[in-house]
Amino acid sequence: MARFILGVTGASGAVYATRTAMHLKRLGHEVSLIVTAPGREVVEYEGQKELFGFADKTFDVDDFFAECASGSADYAGMAVVPCSMGTLGRIAAGTSDNLLVRSADVCLKERRPLVIVPREMPYNLIHIENMERVTRAGAVVIPASPQFYSRPATIEELVDTVVAKILKHLGAASAESCAAIVKPWGNPEPRTSK
C-alpha cells in the first residue's frame, strides 16, 4: 500500500497515536514513527507502549539523515498525533529543528498530506494563528474532538471517531474503510443505557 509518517509529541492523548498506527497497519500501510522525548514519556505514562509495536520503522527525533527528512523519499503523508502547541508553533514557523518538524516541513513543501491533531484546550490567539498558518500552507488541522452521534461505548470507539477523520484526510482509508471504523452519520442503532 503506502508509507506514512506518524509523529508523536508530548501532548496528552497517546491513545490517539496508538489507534492511528494500529488502523494504518490494519489497512496494510507502512508506519514510520518519530516520537519526541516528551512524547516517549507521555506514551509510557499513559500506558500506550504498544504504539511501538505497530511501527515498521522508528526514527530518532534528532536523526536528520533519516529518509523522511528528504523530499525524495516516497512517503504518502504524515500525521502528528497528538500535536503539542510547541510543535505546532515550530511547524508553523518552518524551523525544522528536529526530524518530526523537518518531516512535516517536507510534506508541506512536497504538497503531501499533513494532518495535525492538537489535543490541548482552550486555544489562545497564538495557537489559533499557528493553526491558520499551517492550514494556509496546506496542512489539515483535526483537533482531537471526538463525536458522540455514533454512540461510542468504549474509550477506543470514542478515540476512533477522531482516528477515522485522520485516516480519511491522510488519504490512507476509503470511505468504506472509515465506515468500518466508525459508523457514518445517519441513524445509528440506539445503544441501551445502563
CATH number of the domain where residue 17 is located: 3.40.50.1950
* Residue 191 domain flag: no
* Residue 192 domain flag: no
Supply the range of the domain harboring residue 59.
Answer: 3-181
Residue 189: what pLDDT?
Answer: 56
Q: How many domains does the chain have?
A: 1
Task: Please check whether residue 138 is in contact with residue 114, taking contact to mean a CB–CB distance below 8 angstroms.
Answer: yes
- 67-111 per-position pLDDT tens digit: 999 999 999 999 999 999 999 999 999 999 999 999 999 999 999
DSSP states of 81-122: EEE-HHHHHHHHHT---SHHHHHHHHHHHTT--EEEEE---S
Task: Please check whether residue 105 is in contact with residue 34, taking contact to mean a CB–CB distance below 8 angstroms.
Answer: no
One-letter amino acid for residue 22 of the chain:
M
Sign of the CA dihedral with 63 first, then 65, 70, and 74 last: negative
* Residue 153 domain flag: yes
* Residue 189 domain flag: no
Among 142, 61, 141, residue whose Cα is nearest residue 103: 61
- 12-39 per-position pLDDT tens digit: 999 999 999 999 999 999 999 999 999 9
* Residue 188 domain flag: no
* Residue 44 domain flag: yes
The pLDDT of 110-131, averaged and rounded, is 97
Q: What is the CA radius of gyration of the chain?
A: 16
* Residue 77 domain flag: yes
pLDDT at 191 over 50: no
